[in-house]
Amino acid sequence: MIRFGIIGLLIVGLIGTGVWGYNQASEKEALLVHNENNYQRAFHDLSFHMNQLEDEVGTTLAMNSREQLSSSMAQVWRITSMAQNELGQLPLGMMALHKTEEFLHKIGDFSYKTTIRELNDDPLTNEEYQKLQTFYKESGDIKHELRKLQAGVLKEDQRWTDAINAMDANEEPMDNSIVNGFQMIDEKVKGYTETDFSPANDFAPDLDEQIAKKVKGKKVSKEEAAQIAREFLDIPDSMNVEVDELKEGLQFEGYSLTIQEPEGEAAIHMDMTKKGGHPLWFMQSRPIEEINISLNEATNKAQKFLKRNGFEHMELVDGKQYDTIGSFKFVPVENDVRIYPDVVYVDVALDDGEIVNYKGAEYITNHKKRKKLSPKLSVNEARDRVNPNVDVMEEHVALIKNDEEEEVLCYEFYGTIDKDTFQIYINAETGDEERVQKMENAEPVYDTM
């Protein structure tokens, strides 16, 4: 009898050990997935902001007013700080990316000093304009290198955890596309002209603060969040949705969701607010190897996705093809006025038309009922305020946010200088030049490494 009791205790002990080991393995796997999601997010945000950086630096070259130049340089400073922050979030500590960091530092330093300078009394010199042109070219080079790396990461479904293992192994040559890609970028930056730079300025984006202040609604449970995600993505109720609390450090409460595809494709990752259960963004980094639908068909897929999820009167304002993905920017239109603060971004896979990326945080924080918007100036009066070197091709009425985060009604002009196209916003009440943005040229198709 005693022997049977001992055997029973041993069996219970073995079962307990097995359960403990399973829980430990599950917790480790969840941590790895969480870290991978954060690395992927930081990498894609870095690529996005380097893209913005090139456009914003190029925009300064088309400015016609000193006041507008100062605000644009403040935007360059902000974007540079965001890119620096995202570079710091990537697990690249074992790699010497000093030149890339220096490049971001020197642009940040130059733009900061320009922002606080009285340009009416002390305008930019020809040498400084030449420096801006150099920054424009160099930021474009880095953007294209990151785009190539991004194309490889998406197509080959590469993981940052594998890059960490490769760096830990410390083998030469390094057998990892992500690590090799960043080393090539840093090597390319070494060829740029060296200038003085200062430490990075701590200037972080405040979107999470806006979400905390503006998003309303009752808090949803994890189960409710999972169901909202299924309906938003139009997937069966049977599909498994894992829901975790968003990481600490954000100013709003939310959930991080992971949806596993039953066909074995890459998982879908989504962030959602607790208040109201609003999906902020989602991404599926699956391989997209061939193009079976046109960009026009992809636009229709994106519009149907938005309409199904309650986005009304949305108009396409920008659409491009990046390798095998169609990337689209939509804003709502009210009484023939484009409402840019309520922007939504949608990416469509060109193999089967599936929605693979969505960003709607700005729409969620800004969308509201507005009084009727009527310009005081005529379109001809506003056009006279545009830089005479710009050949105006198209115009609209648009609501945008100025540098003080105030909504202002403007005339939106599309115009060209040589081969570059710009969006120019003239205040519809005062005639002031509110903003100038360089639009991206046709994007080359990048081969994976």
Tell me if the pTM is above 0.85. no
Return the axis-axis angle of helices 126-156 and 2-60, rounded to nearest 10°. 150
Which uninterrupted H or E stretch holds 40? helix 2-60
Which uninterrupted H or E stretch holds 318? strand 314-322
Write out pLDDT tens, residues 14-60: 565 555 555 555 555 555 666 677 777 878 888 888 888 888 888 88
pLDDT at 154 > cutoff 80: no
Mean pLDDT score, 148-163? 76
315 and 395 in a single domain? The answer is no
105 Cβ contact partners less than 8 Å away, ≥ 6 residues apart? 84, 197, 198, 199, 200
Distances (CA, A) of 43 to 49, 91, 101, 178, 416: 10, 10, 15, 10, 32
116 and 168 in a single domain? The answer is yes
279 and 224 in a single domain? The answer is yes
Write out pLDDT tens, residues 254-264: 998 988 776 66
Please report whether residue 4 resides in a domain.
Answer: no
Concatenated DSSP letters of 135-203? HHHHHHHHHHHHHHHHHHHHHHT--HHHHHHHHHHT-SS---HHHHHHHHHHHHHTTSPP----PPP--
Mean pLDDT score, 196-224? 68
- Angle (CA) 228-234-238 rounded to 5° is 75
Tokens representing 305 are 């996705």
Which domain covers residue 71, as residue numbers? 23-189
Q: DSSP letter at 429?
A: T
Rounded to whole angstroms, how far apart are CA atoms 28 and 33?
Answer: 9
Tokens representing 198 are 């200062």
Rounded to whole angstroms, how far apart are CA atoms 104 and 83?
Answer: 8
Structure-model confidence comparison of residues 184 and 203, the more confident one: 184
| Cβ–Cβ < 8 Å for 389, 328 | no
127 and 255 in a single domain? The answer is no
160 and 275 in a single domain? The answer is no
Residue 347 main-chain phi, psi, to 5 deg: -115, 140
Please report whether residue 9 resides in a domain.
Answer: no
Give the range among 221-225, 322-326, 417-421 with minimum mean pLDDT: 322-326
Domain boundary, last residue among 189, 216, 243: 189
Please report whether residue 220 resides in a domain.
Answer: yes
184 and 215 in a single domain? The answer is no
Mean pLDDT score, 186-194? 64
> What is the torsional sign of CA 46, 50, 55, 60?
positive
Write out pLDDT tens, residues 317-336: 988 887 788 889 999 999 99
Query: What pLDDT sits at residue 364?
Result: 93
Structure-model confidence comparison of residues 86 and 358, the more confident one: 358
CATH of the domain at 406: 3.10.450
Domain boundary, last residue among 161, 189, 217: 189
Structure-model confidence comparison of residues 152 and 11, the more confident one: 152
Write out pLDDT tens, residues 330-362: 999 999 999 999 999 998 999 999 998 898 988
Rounded to whole angstroms, how far apart are CA atoms 29 and 127?
Answer: 54
Please report whether residue 201 resides in a domain.
Answer: no
Please report whether residue 299 resides in a domain.
Answer: yes
- Angle (CA) 25-88-274 rounded to 5° is 60
Instruction: Work out how many domains the chain is built from and give that number.
Output: 3
